Structure 1
Amino acid sequence: MSWHPVIPWPLVVLAGLLLLGFTGWRVVADSRHRVRWILRLVTSLLMVVALLGPAVDGAIARQAASNVNVFFVVDTTTSSMARDHEEGRTRLEGYREDIAAIQEQMPGARFSIITFDYTARVVMPLTTDTQALKTATENLRAEDSQYSGGSSVTVAQDRLKLTLEGAKERQPEHSRVVFYLGDGEQTSSDQPAPFALDGLVDGGAVLGYGTEAGGRMAKTNADGSTGEDVTDASGNPGVSKIDEEQLGSIADQLGVPYVHRAGGDISPALEEADPGTTVEGAGASIETYTSLVWIFAVLMSALLLVDLFVTTREIGRLRRVDP
Structure 2
Amino acid sequence: MSLHPVWPLWAVLLVALPLILFPAVMLVTRRDRRIAWLRRLGIALAIGTIAIGPSTMHTTASTVQSNAEIFFVVDRTGSMAAEDYDGTAVRLDGVRHDLEAIVDAFPGARYSIIAWDSQATRQLPLTTDARAVTSWADTVRQELTSFSTGSQVDRPLVALAEALTGAAERTPSNVRLVYFMSDGENTDGEQSSAEAELESFAPLAPLVDGGAVLGYGTTEGGRMKVWDGFTPAEEAPYITDPDNGGAEAVSRIDEVTLRTIAEQLGVDYVHRIAPDAVDGFTSGVDVQEIASDGRREHVIYQPIVWPFASAALLLLVWEAFTIARTFPVRRAHLAPEVR
Within a 5 Å distance, the mapping from 1:1-323 to structure 2 comes to 66-187=66-187, 188-189=192-193, 190-195=196-201, 196-222=203-229, 226=233, 227-233=236-242, 234-270=245-281, 274=283, 276-277=285-286, 279=287, 281=289
Q: Residue 211 of structure 2 contacts residue 267 of structure 2 at CA under 8 Å; is this kept in 1? A: yes
Q: CA deviation at 1:148?
A: 1.1
Q: Residue 68 of structure 1 contacts residue 282 of structure 1 at CA under 8 Å; is this kept in 2? A: no
Change (3 A) 1:245 1:65: farther
Q: CA deviation at 1:206?
A: 0.2
- 88-97 vs 184-193, which moves further: 184-193
Change (3 A) 1:167 1:205: same
Q: Residue 204 of structure 1 contacts residue 257 of structure 1 at CA under 8 Å; is this kept in 2? A: yes
Q: Residue 94 of structure 2 contacts residue 275 of structure 2 at CA under 8 Å; is this kept in 1? A: no
For residues 145 and 166 of structure 1, the distance between their equivalents in structure 2, rounded to whole angstroms, comes to 33
Give percent identity, aligned residues only.
Answer: 43
For residues 100 and 254 of structure 1, the distance between their equivalents in structure 2, rounded to whole angstroms, comes to 23
For residues 237 and 159 of structure 1, the distance between their equivalents in structure 2, rounded to whole angstroms, comes to 33
Q: CA deviation at 1:238?
A: 0.2
Q: Residue 65 of structure 1 contacts residue 276 of structure 1 at CA under 8 Å; is this kept in 2? A: no
For residues 100 and 224 of structure 1, the distance between their equivalents in structure 2, rounded to whole angstroms, comes to 27
Task: Give the letter aligned to residue 257 of structure 2.
Answer: Q
Q: CA deviation at 1:132?
A: 1.1
Q: Residue 76 of structure 1 contacts residue 116 of structure 1 at CA under 8 Å; is this kept in 2? A: yes
Change (3 A) 1:194 1:87: same
Q: CA deviation at 1:92?
A: 0.5
- 155-164 vs 143-152, which moves further: 143-152
Change (3 A) 1:245 1:166: same
SS at match of 1:121: strand
The structure with the largest alpha-carbon Rg is: 2
Q: Residue 120 of structure 1 contacts residue 159 of structure 1 at CA under 8 Å; is this kept in 2? A: yes
For residues 67 and 210 of structure 2, the distance between their equivalents in structure 1, rounded to whole angstroms, comes to 13
For residues 183 and 136 of structure 1, the distance between their equivalents in structure 2, rounded to whole angstroms, comes to 20
For residues 174 and 224 of structure 1, the distance between their equivalents in structure 2, rounded to whole angstroms, comes to 44
Q: CA deviation at 1:202?
A: 0.7
For residues 96 and 223 of structure 1, the distance between their equivalents in structure 2, rounded to whole angstroms, comes to 20
Q: CA deviation at 1:281?
A: 4.3
For residues 107 and 279 of structure 2, the distance between their equivalents in structure 1, rounded to whole angstroms, comes to 17
Gaps of 5+ in 2: 1-63, 293-339
Task: Give the letter aligned to residue 218 of structure 2.
Answer: T
When normalised by structure 2's length, the TM-score is: 0.61
Task: Give the letter aligned to residue 194 of structure 1.
Answer: S
For residues 224 and 86 of structure 1, the distance between their equivalents in structure 2, rounded to whole angstroms, comes to 24
Q: Residue 98 of structure 2 contacts residue 278 of structure 2 at CA under 8 Å; is this kept in 1? A: no
SS at match of 1:84: coil
SS at match of 1:204: strand
For residues 291 and 97 of structure 2, the distance between their equivalents in structure 1, rounded to whole angstroms, comes to 20
Change (3 A) 1:191 1:228: same
Q: Residue 71 of structure 1 contacts residue 178 of structure 1 at CA under 8 Å; is this kept in 2? A: yes
Change (3 A) 1:275 1:151: farther
| Count of aligned residue pairs for this structure pair | 220
- 261-270 vs 106-115, which moves further: 261-270
For residues 269 and 240 of structure 1, the distance between their equivalents in structure 2, rounded to whole angstroms, comes to 27
Task: Give the letter aligned to residue 241 of structure 1.
Answer: R
Change (3 A) 1:231 1:250: same
Q: Residue 66 of structure 2 contacts residue 288 of structure 2 at CA under 8 Å; is this kept in 1? A: no
Gaps of 5+ in 1: 1-63, 285-323
- Give a deviation string over 1:83-136, Cα, whole Å, max 9, x none: 000031000111011100111111111111110112100111111112111111
